[in-house]
Amino acid sequence: MRASRVPVLALVLLLGACSPRDGQAQSNSPGTSSSGANLPAANRAPPANAATMKVSFAPVVQRAAPAVVNISARRLVRQQTDPFWSLFGLGVPQARLAASLGSGVIVREDGIVVTNNHVVENGQEITIGLNDRREFPARILLADPRTDLAVLKVELPPGERLPVLAIDDSGDTQVGDLVLAIGNPFGVGQTVTNGIVSALNRATDPTGEAGAAYVQTDAAINPGNSGGALVDMDGDLIGVNSFILSRSGTSSGVGFAVPAEVVRRVVETAVGGGRAVVRPWLGARTQSVNADLARSLDLPTPQGALIADIYPGGPAARAGLRTGDVVLQAEGRPIVDASGLNYVVRNARPGETIPLTIRRADGRDQQLTLRADPPPATPARDERTLAGRHPFDGATVANLSPAVADELGLDPFVGQGVLVARVERGVAMNIGLRRGDIIREVNGAKIASVRDLAAAVGQPARTWRLAIERDGRIVTATFSG
């Protein structure tokens, strides 16, 4: 059975049983314990140093748990009835109330909460439940589907301050570090599980172009824990739990969390009034160096990011990168693969400079400086939702630019044209137009801009002949007017 990527909304508490020492029988009598685990609360104390902290996670939980919240999001959805009845004009969609449960983390005492976007997506009524059982309404400040993060603002009474979980800024998390995952698994209430950091900068996009990298952990994560906290032994937030890989849909010890530095960038944008996270881009296609490439390039190990193509005038071109260069380090950190390089660039703040160490095609190493700039929004977006008696009725279209392509997760090298940004209703939905389609021709007329498309569909026609680019292939179709 193939492994699947499953959003998670919780963590499950796993308790390890301790065996009696030296063959002694374990007493089950009330008030007795061979291990001391049932000592009265008065005899328990926080660990005195880092070494003794390993005896119990309780001090870490006491610090972190109050800042982890439950999130309930309700939204009205329209559900299509049996398709059979739609043949007779009776398939009227029915409205129903859907709800989702998840977790979140308070990162500012004035009520700023970060969670997963899929927990609150399209939520019309969001409620935050604190660890002390109080509940408050909340609203979405910023939703960022690219990282699956959302930032909420809790509506607090005047003067109210909430407990906060600090976002880790040390950057010293290592594979093998102990971590705790805190959330609300299956809606049973706040639960804590422990594990280790299994991997860092784990990419789920094999091309590396998405620039996404996660903290991987074996701490148990299950449905209901999305948006919950992954906490280190200092009680700091090192990640927001996002999804798992599992064949069963429940935890199999392969969970992924959005790293703290990504969380910090999204929160800073939301608090600063931004409506979207502005991400720099490299302005180049990259390829991970495999064993064959390493041999051909005379590299000692198959590590680094090969520059396969460069966007004219982009950051890579201005930095002096060339096709065939291999980026070995960025900001002094070794670049293992293409996703590592794109991760560094995308999580820099616009305008920052990134020092690079590269290997030229002739074998020389060179130092370059890349300025982290966002992709250009040229030509202007000119986004419109079209309506009328034509195939694009109900489609939202925009001029294609590197900025628009990057926002939608598309290839910025596809050139100019008109992009289908959304399809929510109308004829466009019925004929199968999709988000990401590029409109190339309408009735033989070349379409280079939204203005061209608006002019083309503004002329009545008995027949519509379309040429659409989808996934790099041109698809032609004819529809009656």
The alpha carbon dihedral of 18, 20, 25, 27 has a sign of negative
**Hey, what's the torsion of the CAs at 335, 336, 338, 339, to 10 degrees?**
-90
Nearest-angstrom CA–CA distance, 400 and 337: 29
Distance from the Cα of residue 328 to its chain's centroid: 26
Non-local CB neighbours of 167 within 8 Å, separated by 6+ positions:
107, 236, 237, 260, 263, 264, 267
Q: So which residues are the catalytic ones?
A: 118, 148, 226
Nearest-angstrom CA–CA distance, 116 and 7: 9
Beta-strand runs (E) in 252-318: 255-259, 284-288, 305-310
Distance from the Cα of residue 103 to its chain's centroid: 15
Burial class (CB in 10 A: 0-12, 13-18, 19+), 36: exposed
Tokens matching residue 84: 């059979």
Amino acid in position 462:
R
Beta-strand runs (E) in 42-183: 68-79, 94-108, 112-116, 125-129, 135-144, 149-154, 178-183
Nearest-angstrom CA–CA distance, 192 and 183: 7
Angle value at C-alpha 86, between 84 and 88, nearest 5 degrees: 90
Is residue 443 within a helix (H) or strand (E), and if so which, with residue range?
Answer: none
Number of helices and strands (H, E) in the chain? 11, 26
Angle value at C-alpha 169, between 163 and 174, nearest 5 degrees: 110
Asked if residues 208 and 342 have their Cβ atoms less than 8 Å apart, the reply is: yes
For β-strands 191-202 and 229-231, DSSP reports them as unpaired
Find the largest Cα–Cα distance for the chain.
90
Asked if residues 414 and 420 have their Cβ atoms less than 8 Å apart, the reply is: no
